Structure 1
Amino acid sequence: MNTIASLLVRACLAALLLPSIAMATGPEGYGWEWPLTLSRDDGGAYRATLDESVYRRIQDPRMRDLEVFDGEGLSVPAAVFEPEQPLAQSPRRLALSWFTLPAPAPGAARRWELVSEADEDGRLRRVEVRGGTAPDPAAGTALLVDLSRVREAVVALEFEWNATDALDLGYRVEASDDLDHWQSLAARGRLIDLQREGRRLLHRRIELFGLLPHHQRARYLRLTPDRPDQVVEITALKAIFAPPPAKAALQWVERAPARAASADGRVHEYTLDGRFPIRQVDVALSGNHAVEWRLESRDSTDADWQLRTGPWMTYQVGAGNGGRSAARELPMVLRDRYWRLSANGPVNGEPALRFGYAPEVVVFLAQGAPPYVLAAGSTRARRADSPLPRLVETLRAQQGDDWQPAAAWLGTSRVLAGDAALAPVRDWTSWLLWSLLVLGALVVAGFALSLLRPGRGPSQSPEGTAAAPPETDTVASREGHGDEAGSGPSDNSS
């Protein structure tokens, strides 16, 4: 009995540990992953803006089925930040990689034969120059700038160099996507560092804003000096981005009615296939109209509808946006999947519901070896809590409020477990515990019945005949018969 009880206790403990074992999973526990491209190798902490493809895969309303892994499949500390937080804003400067090029000989064509080595992201690892004079490592007035990992529009380049007696050097700028075909940009940069009577004139930027539209997508820039005989030792080069807008523009997703919830066509229901952080809603209805609406939502089909906003009126009068109502701000950010729109009167046509959201930012620590990936979409895997928000607060307190994590960008999604990671979770723990309890009850009942079983009847001899009675019974029987026999002769003698 003790052995059976011990086994039951061990089985119960194992069943209780099953949920924690299921939570401790790697990238294989998620449906999809996105490779992360880092803007620099020594950033330490990085930030990546989530896009629509990620939100469509998220299952958990608290965004816990989203995790960052290193090159060995180990989870790294990560957290999701709202777009309004300063940490989620893009940094305005980014350190760039550059390579020195030999200056062309006077009177010779400005042409180099470049033999380069790049990784999968297009980032240059090595550049070998053939033709022209040998480059001076200390000079480096001709530069090849690597923009392959920049995803924002660069409005200017900012240079730093070692002190020089006098510098006034112009540059011509060319752009390329493959290092073979170059296109001149309508830009002439100038670096100036002059001093006279204790005063200094310093200009360290080459403006790129307003050039050919394709320069924003160019992977490489080539800067050729006007005077190859004048040398300058460049020590740092940064990309300058446009200042952030006063308020981040919302992204919009539009859904047609999944079904009409009323026969008169005044109530329509919608399904949102993703955990978008909805902030505003709008109704798209063709033609001139003026309708008053109420909007409700819920997160599951068996939950009660909750009023989110309304009544409010949408209208359209004439053509153009001037005669159209503005989007409706929600009182809170919502990630519900099911929405219901109710009109107070007849509706001409099927209204489409538009959802406005501001993309959030995932910040992660570059712990472990690259490459890093973002995995998302699971009904089982969950990201563990990390002290990253407190770490960010500490770093900002130490290095100033302008401190930002380095930029990172999401690549094209790849399938991991796919839809198998979204399969409904069956509560095997409860079934196992109930089975063990029933089994334990049956074992205890069987043991009790064995104790309450009645004794067996008279024992039988091996041959099936009755066994001899005990010795005491034989003696007592003889004594009884002796009394009866003694009385008989006494009577006869008398």
Structure 2
Amino acid sequence: MKRVRSHPLSRQCIFKAAMFGSLLCAALLTQAEDLPDDFASHTPLTLSGEGPWYSLELPLGLQLNARQGNLNDVRVFNADGQAQPYAITLGQPQRAADETPVAVKWFALYNSDDARDAEPRIRVERTPEGTLVEVQPQGEIEAGEEVLRGWLLDTSAIKAPLDQLILDWSTEREGFQRFSIEASDDLQHWQRWGEGQVARLSFADELVEQRIVTLPGRTARYLRLLWSTPQSAPTLTSAQLVSTRPGVLPLSWSPTINGRVEKPGVYVWQLPVALPLERMKVDIAQPNSLAPATLYARRDSNAPWQMIDSGLLYRLTQNGQDAVQDEMELPGNVVQQLKLEVDDRGGGLGKDAPKLSFAVRATQLVFLARGAPPYSLAIGNDKIKGASLPLSTLVPGVTPEKAASFGKASLGVAPVPAMTPALPAVSGPDWKRIGLWSVLVLGVVFLGWMALSTLRTSRSK
């Protein structure tokens, strides 16, 4: 039996064909990457501070150039046209701490000696606002048999979340004082807030104190402190609370847009792109305007209107000064159309639709700078997929302190956004994608033809 040996030429041809196929696929994959020319607008970036991470505040005027409301079509490119890895984060409300402790009233909670571990039963007298005036044990306790079980704090005057409790007590009690913390708004239903511990220790003519207890940062009208061992409950001399107030949500406002009159007293505005709106502001130009109004919103013209808010809009002149209420809140849902229905019994807002501006949560883009500068921000592509990474992935081990040390990126001369609704993209063939796939298919066919020809030649020899 004659053994057929592979000809060196055939092996060489097969190797060349494989190399050609690999280079062809690599070229096609390179062409399929995000390219600067795929985006409608570009804005140069100026960097300052230490990298390699840089943060950029995206103004709403620039976001209006996006073709996708979720900002999937945002990229950062370097001088060589390479896309940079990035993350998009929304501004979070910062709680502004009120560092001044607020003194509150406290009332002793007593039990009888034979029920010292039971929950105190009390009767109270309070004002219509809920402020406690008097707290007494429910039922008769004979003199000398009462046991101090704990303390009731009246926090009804504090409307903000409670973060810290600061206690002071009589000097005859030293050591550690442990107690449970419970909260209530009606003195009937109590919610456990955890455990607390304070301490006062004397050592070598020095006094060591721990008087601050951390609270969970929630609101409550009353706090109840119940000591773990009633016989060790101290006599309080002061009770103070440190609270925090919710900070203002960081917002980014748009330029004003024009609306249209649907019918008398009904105004409609079309946003350039669907956005998650947080607030809207009506330009009330005429003094002494009063308009009870209801706000509606929807995603597009095919969706039903959803009522969002109702209230009173006005611009009133008193003593030479204007008192203005021109804003209404939205829940942050993605919408593109707004409608305001005005009760004309208050005089209305005029025969023409007033101008309107809207706000979204401030948006920050963080990117990892690689390659050669300068860098640019590209936006505007209705077909591209999102490439944003979670911030914890882009910046391993990120903390608020580390984020504060990022370098800063600022916009150069930004393109002026068109404040008219973007026309929907005309659906049609994507010739660029079709061309790339056509070349790929032809390359595979050519590669197969070369391999088959080489195999036939080898067999014939």
| Higher Cα radius of gyration | 1
TM-score in terms of structure 2 length: 0.46
Higher strand share: 2
